[in-house]
Amino acid sequence: MESRSTSRRQPERAAQGGQYEYRVLTIDRSTSRSDATRLLTDEAEYGRWELARTRLYVGGERRVWLRRKIIRVRSTL
């Protein structure tokens, strides 16, 4: 299973008014569907990412956009 990932930090206003951090995963065409599912499940379970968008390209390459809310910690002092 070979996948390349690039992490991008792009705050974007959502419909609920939250800001999100995005991560784009590029999954090679030789990666099986079950391996890709396992990879995305691990990212969602342990990294708290949710699926935002999926694209399947002509050559068989998959590009997946994951997002998670940016949690800002405010000082209580």
Q: For position 29, what pLDDT does the model report?
A: 93
The per-residue pLDDT for range 42-77, each reduced to its tens digit, is 999 999 999 999 999 999 999 999 999 988 888 888
CB 39 within 8 A of CB 28: no
* CA dihedral (40, 56, 66, 25) positive or negative: positive
Q: For position 17, what pLDDT does the model report?
A: 56
Tokens linked to 49: 């990412």
d(CA 24, CA 31) in angstroms, rounded, equals 16
Q: Does the pLDDT value for residue 1 go beyond 80?
A: no
Q: For position 74, what pLDDT does the model report?
A: 85
The answer to pTM > 0.75 is no
